Structure 1
Amino acid sequence: MIPVVTNANDTVDRSGRPKGYEWKAVTLLSLGLGLVGVDRFIIVPMMPVLARDLGLDYQDLGIITGALAVAWGLSSLFTGNLSDRFGFKKIIVPALFIFSLIAGFSGLATGIVTLVLARVAMGLAEGAFTPASIIATMDASPPKRHGLNVGIQQTMPALLGLGLAPLAVTQLLKVVNWPWIFLMVAVPGLIVAYLLHRVLEQPVPAEIATHSTTHDAGTHRWYEVFAYRNVPLAILCQLFWLTCIIVVAALFPSYLVDHLHLSMDQMGLILSSMGFGGAIGALLLPALSDRVGRKPVMLLSAVLAFGAFWIFGGAGANVTVLFLCMMVAMGSLYALLTLTVGPITAESVPARLMATGSGMVIGIGEVFGGGFAPAIAGTIAKHYGIEHAAAVPLYALGLGIVVILLLKETAPIRLRGKTVAEPIAAGGAHVG
């Protein structure tokens, strides 16, 4: 630990970090994850245009979306453990650099094959970045601000990727061709990667252990992460939340334009509510969980999302109602994502399994919820009508509510000295 000087010229804070480290690290990590959201979701409002120019159908749109999610998931499964072994900084910086470049190259796609290949490559890099960046954010934060700061980080993909991107893209399409829009997104990522290289610090495991309910800094085998009850339950939760978000991203633009016969501008406006709602939900609800607990906030969020999708399905072409419903639904879903991959998982396991646990939750959830779900929903839309695929989120949320009830609480304010992260089987999480 770096000694703390207590005069007026202090250059470190009481945690031994350089002064201002928390806000600098959280800001840059949030911008990095925000660019992940931009690179991932910038394709959403372009789906009808891509379908026209590249000859794609609903099933193709589901495959394109699912391919990135599967690659993202497989990458997260392996690189989370690498982050725990070698340090999150060695994963975060190169991953951000690589996926920024590949996102720009997506504009060179000429058909379904090249577009899928570009999205797969981008998903591999983004899958490496995400779990490591979440643990780095928690490490930069005191435990009492885990929910708040991870929420700030998770706000950015929603705000930038789902909020501002649809508005910007629908306007840019009026003046430039869609390949140029992809090429515009590379430069900001390269800048943030450089700044993270300069700012980010890698602590020792003993320091990271203070962010877990186990306070365990020992060495563990990667598979021991499954011995902690919240991890397999969080995987199920992540599968359900991503099913909702990715199905909405892949098919709802076409649902609004083709089924409800809204204009491109109306579609872009409604999609923007996904981002703004997601940003508000990811910021406020996880911060609330620091005060009242993770489980109560997750239950509230799941019920709100279910109700919003229910009303959405019967709203017809009422733009105002569709906008408000999508805002509430995505705000609740982003709060659920934030709590699932961040505090509810990472607080439950030892220090050397935090990125591994988050990576497993993100990875398996992405492969099945983000990868297979939109492909299945796209097939349903193709053969039975897109209005039937739009009901998929209701089933996913209903199952998710049941799983939330089985989770163990991890919020420090609710534990008051209790340890809730014991392995679910005796000897199942021993120090190796």
Structure 2
Amino acid sequence: MKTNMQTQKWDTSYEWKAVLLLSLGFGLVGLDRWIIAPLLPSIMKDLSLNYQDVGVIFGALGITWGIFAIISGNLSDKIGHRKILIPSLIIFSLASGFSGAAAGLTSLIFIRAIMGVSEGAFCPTSFAATAAAAKPSRRGSLQGLQQSGFALFGLGLGPIIATQLLLVVPSWREVFWVVAIPGIILSVFMYFIIREPQNTQGGQALHEVVTGEEKQKVNWLALLKTRNVLLSMLGLFCTMSCVFVISAMVPLYLQNYLNLSSQNMGIVVSAIGFGGFLGQFLVPAASDFIGRKMASFLGFLGSTIFIWLFANAEASVLSLFSLLFVLSFFSLGLVALLSGPIAAESAPIGLVASSIGLVVGAGEIFGGGVAPFLSGVVAEHYGIQNIFYLSLIGTVVGMILSLFLVETAPRKVIASASNPAIESKKVSDV
């Protein structure tokens, strides 16, 4: 069978159509999730919210996202990708719209928690679907490309879209309904194009290249015992403690502590999205060549340096934008690397989406749920300028964890296959 897979012409038409749709889908995940950030000054005023309330809102979404990423990742391995992807896309789009109908803190938390459920279901399933569509030699690049839509739409274009829409709609409430529409349209295209993994060349090649074994039943304990899966879970927690703290709190830090105008704040915050967009594509792409382990270590090192520089920068728009751009390049690039190719390539047979779901879920629960809540508490009681210490601790720990990863990049693994001692160690470690 492997010989047939190697000689058969690769279906690039499906590969690129699937990746395009899944990239747009995950871009809408980012847009619907983060469109709230630039609207927070207005929302906080209208609903009488404080910093701690903001942390709870973001934390509620992160925790439900994490829980259902684990559940749905495993479920999609059993029932298929399409039955998860299409309904979840419709539900989180509607939840985005209903965010504009929130009457107070409780209803907004409830609506955003529902959004977390559906986006959590979409996330690992879409990563696995991309892995199933991608040719192994470019899996890291295409998974990075798919995940880069999150940063581009949610954190780059989101602030621009939000502020421009406020010029033509009555209030922040209508903004949520406008951004909900594209998801409904995209779900129709997915219905006609996305295939199940057993009907794709990449879905078969993923299992053959990574394991070379026949499909077998693997339980959760076996998944947790896989070194790279465990390290990816911890590593994603570390980088998300950076990503979600800066994404949720930096707009308020810039406006309330550094006293930037709302327009200048919007310019600086857009650096998170544009830097993250490049990082989510280029960091996994680079890992195809330099290896997953080296890319992870360099990503955490860069994040550590630039979170410190940003926290100590003066109120200069150009300086803040530049530092935040590079910081986001590294930190969001790590999100794509750890939850994409490393998680997929380390998964036991039949548990690709489960592996990704477990990694994403753990990272979301602690990094996307607990970290924003803690940053809200720190900001409310100790000053918003101290939130960056949480991120700094996370990136330093992540840098240490990267040293223990087992290399899984196909180019690196194939290159080392001629050395039996190295190959034996890799197999025993994984």
TM-score bracket, normalised by the shorter chain, equals: over 0.9
Describe the shift of the 1:320–1:222 C-alpha distance in structure 2 as closer, same or farther (beyond 3 A): same
- The within-5 A match list for 1:29-48 is 29-48=22-41
Cα distance per residue 1:115-139 (max 9 Å; x no partner): 0000000100000000010010011
In the TM superposition, residue 421 of structure 1 has moved relative to its aligned partner by 6.3
Matches within 5 A, 1:344-383: 344-383=342-381
Alignment match, 2:420: none
Q: Which amino acid aligns with 1:186?
A: A
TM-score for the superposition, normalised by structure 1: 0.92
CA drift at 1:175: 3.5
The corresponding residue for 1:184 is 178
- Structure 2 match to 1:430: none
The amino acid of 2:63's aligned partner reads V
The size of the alignment, in residue pairs, is 413
Task: Determine the structure 2 residue equivalent to 1:52.
Answer: 45
Is it true that 1:82 corresponds to 2:75 in the alignment? yes
RMSD of aligned Cα (Å): 1.8
1:286 maps to a residue whose letter is P
Supply the distance in 1 between the matched residues of 2:341 and 2:18 (Cα, whole angstroms).
18
Matched with 2:155 is 162
Compute the displacement of 1:203 (Å).
2.9
Amino acid at match of 1:395: I
Q: Which residue of 1 aligns with 2:386?
A: 388
1:14 aligns with 2:12: no
User: Could you tell me how far apart the structure 2 residues matched to 1:100 and 1:167 are?
Assistant: 19
Aligned: 1:215 with 2:212? yes
- TM-fit CA distance, 1:209: 4.9
| 1:150-179 deviation digits (Å, cap 9, x = unpaired) | 111111010110001111212322342100
Measure, in 2, the Cα distance between the counterparts of 1:119 and 1:414: 41
CA distance in 2, matches of 1:215, 1:25: 25
User: Could you tell me how far apart the structure 2 residues matched to 1:247 and 1:96 are?
Assistant: 25
Higher helix share goes to which structure?
Answer: 2
Tell me which residue corresponds to 1:429: none
**Amino acid in structure 2 at the alignment position of 1:222:** W
Shift in Å, 1:24? 0.2
1:104 lines up with 2:104 in the alignment? no
Distance in 2 (alpha carbons) for counterparts of 1:53 and 1:96 = 29
Q: Could you say what secondary structure the match of 1:47 adopts?
A: helix
Distance 1:203 1:78 in 2: 19
Change beyond 3 A, Cα 1:420–1:269: farther
Q: Which residue number in structure 2 is paired with residue 129 of structure 1?
A: 122
Q: Which runs of 5+ in 1 are unaligned?
A: 5-12, 426-432
Which of the numbers 12, 20, 24 marks the counterpart of 1:27? 20
> Whole-Å Cα distance in 1 between the matches of residues 354 and 57 of structure 2?
27
Over 3 Å counting, the alpha-carbon distance change for 1:420 and 1:72 in structure 2 is: farther
Q: Single out whichever of 125-134 and 345-354 deviates more from structure 2.
A: 345-354
| CA apart distance, 1:351 | 3.2
Is the 2:133–2:202 contact (alpha carbons within 8 Å) kept by the matching residues of 1? no
CA contact (8 A) 1:51 1:57 kept: yes
1:268 offset after TM fit, Å? 0.6
Question: Is residue 284 of structure 1 aligned with residue 279 of structure 2?
Answer: no
8 Å contact from structure 1 (residues 81, 222) kept in 2: no
CA distance in 2, matches of 1:27, 1:156: 10
What's the offset of the Cα at 1:207? Answer: 6.1
**Residue 309 (structure 1) shift:** 1.2
Tell me, in whole angstroms, the C-alpha distance in 2 between the residues paired with 1:293 and 1:221: 28
In the alignment, which residue of structure 2 is the partner of 1:193? 187
Q: Shift of residue 222 of structure 1? A: 3.2
Aligned equivalents of 1:76, 1:296: Cα separation in 2: 27
Percentage identity across aligned positions? 42
Aligned to 2:136: 143
Query: In 2, distance between residues paired with 1:351 and 1:92?
Result: 21
The 1:181/1:128 distance shift into structure 2, 3 A limit, reads same
Per-residue deviation at 1:208? 2.7
Selected match of 1:204 from 195, 198, 206: 198
Aligned ranges 1:314-329 → 2 under 5 Å:
314-329=312-327
After superposition, the Cα gap between the structure-2 partners of 1:359 and 1:420, relative to the gap in structure 1 and judged at 3 Å, is farther
CA distance in 2: counterparts of 1:150 and 1:282, whole angstroms: 9
8 Å contact kept, 1:152–1:282: yes
User: Which residue is 2:257 aligned to?
Assistant: 259
- Measured against aligned partners, the alpha-carbon deviations of 1:340-371 in whole angstroms (never above 9, x if no partner) come to 01111110122311111110111111111111
1:238 has 2:264 as partner: no
Residue 406 of structure 1 is matched in structure 2 by: 404
Q: For structure 2, which runs of at least 5 residues remain unmatched after alignment?
A: 418-422
Secondary structure of the structure 1 residue equivalent to 2:367: helix
Q: What CA distance in whole angstroms lies between the structure 1 residues aligned with 2:159 and 2:114?
A: 23
Deviations 1:8-49 (A, max 9, x none): xxxxx724x5x6100000000000000000011101111111
| TM-score, reference length from structure 2 | 0.92
1:210 shift after superposition = 2.4
Cα distance per residue 1:375-425 (max 9 Å; x no partner): 111111111110011332111100110111111110011111347764759
One-letter code aligned to 2:133: A
